[in-house]
Structure 1
């Protein structure tokens, strides 16, 4: 693995740690609140981040990943917590999945980062390209979660 690939995996793990730190101390109830003016809750954002990373890898490689069944129905683009069912992973389950995802991706794809595929959106051709994009996407959702958290904790009854 090259130095820049080591840096990429370090970023993947570090930013995921930061995401999980933002939700530390929140209750399941808080994670499920959809404040007025928001479309989703913290729980949805966590599931979406998890799904997005694997979906982009699947889109590029045309190979199945570790995405659990029904995740796209609950956490895909355009979905909302209104789509949740009793089977939708809990806040705690999502935190666990997110915690283990970076090492799973590293162990599964580290030897394939430079493998070239047919280009997808924005000309992404490698798994490395996809990971750069998904890290950026995760950062956007970290900000959304921070906004939700601030609203929820500042507006307690």
Structure 2
């Protein structure tokens, strides 16, 4: 793995640790609250981040990385109204998110530059997908911070 790739995985780990740190004082009850100004809750945001990172890798590689049920709960356009008794809990999602960077590095660390047919966004390597998903994680980390502020007013 070259220095650029090591830096990418370091960023992925660091940003995920920052997200999990932000969640460290959030209760399960708070994770379910949806303030008036929002469409989703903290739990949904976590599931969406988990799904999104694997989804883009799957779009690119065609590898089977997650249950299709996750798309029905956390995919684009879904809301917590789509949750049922099988939807992963707040604590389960935190554990999945904690483990995800390690799993991706383990499975794809030596394939970052492998080329695939491009996605509709023009991404054709796993490295490009990870850059996109790290950016996306930053957007949802801010949404989670905003949710926490509104919930705790």
Q: For residue 45 of structure 1, what is the aligned residue in structure 2?
A: 45
Kindly state the Cα deviation for residue 62 of structure 1 after the two structures are TM-superposed: 1.5
Q: For residue 20 of structure 2, what is the aligned residue in structure 1?
A: 20
Cα distance in 2 for partners of 1:117, 1:149 equals 39
Cα distance in 1 for partners of 2:68, 2:24 equals 26
Cα distance in 2 for partners of 1:44, 1:122 equals 24
Unaligned runs of 5+ in 1: none
Q: For residue 55 of structure 2, what is the aligned residue in structure 1?
A: 55
Kindly state the Cα deviation for residue 68 of structure 1 after the two structures are TM-superposed: 3.3
Cα distance in 1 for partners of 2:93, 2:62 equals 25
In structure 1, the residue corresponding to 2:113 is in which secondary structure? coil
Q: For residue 72 of structure 2, what is the aligned residue in structure 1?
A: 73
Kindly state the Cα deviation for residue 26 of structure 1 after the two structures are TM-superposed: 1.0
TM-score (norm 2): 0.98
Runs (4+) of structure 1 exceeding 4 A deviation are none
Kindly state the Cα deviation for residue 69 of structure 1 after the two structures are TM-superposed: 4.5
TM-score (norm 1): 0.95
Do residues 64 (structure 1) and 76 (structure 2) align?
no
Aligned length in residues: 153
